[in-house]
Amino acid sequence: MIFPCIDLMDGKVVQLVQGREKALEGGSMEETLARFAAFPQIQVIDLDVAMGRGSNESLVRLAASRTLARVGGGVRTVERALELAGLGVHRVIVGTAAFDVGQQGGGINHTFLEALASAVGRQCLVIAVDSRDGRIVVKGWRESTALAAEDVVRELEPYCSGFLCTYVDKEGMLQGTDLEWFRRLRAATQLELTAAGGLTTMDDVRALLAMGIHAALGMAIYAGRLPLEELARLVREGA
């Protein structure tokens, strides 16, 4: 599966470099959804909610009404997850709140995840295990834990249907990714995996699909490095 990514900030479709610097703005949500119409599912991240400075609920609702949308951004309470489910999103992505960063080095927030899975259903949940310098990062990728993604995915399996794995070191930089890291993750869990971060070429995409890993694509699409026509052909062929 290939997931085009739509990141939202200040009512606009944007792309950031490593979650910080805005690199570009896309078209309107209507235009972007039309552009991605050949793809059965998309991924939407509300950056304003994630950063605690507002929301783009109307755009999320629009996306959920048009296609199967996996949505994340600031899912730190059960109530927020239920709000997204109420908007009709296909799956809810949870990141920071899945980890207890109050512990020394960080740990898994089992209490929250148990409540979340009970309220929403584990089949509707995707846990983000984003990594920089080999360690899971949280709070907008600004805080590191002592956890390695490949060491904890098995422990997280009871709470979700899959994982979103972002290689933050190369996110938005169009410099390629670390396929070996994704290969280790694939060996660590039988659940669905979606790769993001630095995916730049069709070779990157094909290598991931060959491993049985989905690809979430952002900057490389918006910057014209990955042709939508060729990606759509992979989807038609069963990617």
Q: Give catalytic residues, as residue numbers.
A: 7, 130
- 128: amino acid identity, one letter: A
Rounded Cα distance, 140 and 51, in Å? 7
Beta-bridged to residue 192, according to DSSP, are 162
Helix (H) or strand (E) holding 47: helix 47-50
For the chain, the straight-line distance linking the first and the last C-alpha, in angstroms and rounded, comes to: 5
Rounded Cα distance, 153 and 118, in Å? 19
From residue 13, alpha-carbon distances to 10, 92, 134, 138 in Å are: 8, 19, 29, 22
Helices (H), ranges, 121-192 = 149-156, 179-188
| Local structure of residue 123 (DSSP, 8 states) | G
